[in-house]
Copies of this chain bind each other. A is one copy, B any other.
């Protein structure tokens, strides 16, 4: 196997790494959920930055990228800003993570192209399983929609129930 060159993202509070979102993806999630809740109106980066105390320049970079990727639509000029470009039910966690961080792959040799650079791919016993796990992970992330995320705020009760029942 042998992974990519550069990495579910992983880092804890002080040094211990782990499965987690990058700060960029975190901010994006906050921003998108904000935009999803103000569906009709145009929000400037400053609006969102003020509401959620996200560093303005950083947030702008993120919104620019999400705009280029077609997830949000931008309106330039004074009174400009951003709006969700797609239905919240149609954007998943996987979508905007991919948009911001690039294609995800559990291991480098599992991205279905590129001869891998891993000298032992041909007889590697882990490659095939890794590809399958990666596929399931992608499907999992693709299944978590923005609509579900923001919607659940209102129905947290029932969702907690679902989780407890193990319906994951």
Contact = CB atoms under 8 A, between A and B. Distances in A.
A18 B101 contact: yes
A114 interface: yes
A1 B29 contact: yes
Interface stretch (A9-17, A39-47, A69-77, A78-86): A9-17
Nearest to A138: B19
A133 B137 contact: no
B168 A150 contact: no
A139 interface: yes
Using C-beta atoms within 8 Å of the partner chain, give the interface range for chain A.
35 or more
Interface in A5-49: 5-23, 26, 29-30, 33-34, 37
Please give the count of copies of this chain that the complex contains.
2
A68 interface: no
A60 interface: no
Interface string A139-168: 111001000111011001001100100101
A7 B4 contact: no
Given A7-B11, A114-B13, A126 B18 contact: no
Given A7-B17, A16-B103, A20-B104, 5 more contacts: A6-B11, A6-B17, A7-B22, A8-B18, A129-B152
8 contacts: A4-B18, A8-B137, A12-B103, A16-B102, A20-B104, A30-B124, A133-B144, A140-B140
Interface of A: 1-23, 26, 29-30, 33-34, 37, 52-54, 93, 97-98, 101-108, 114, 119-120, 124-126, 128-130, 132-133, 135-137, 139-141, 144, 148-150, 152-153, 156, 159-160, 163, 166, 168
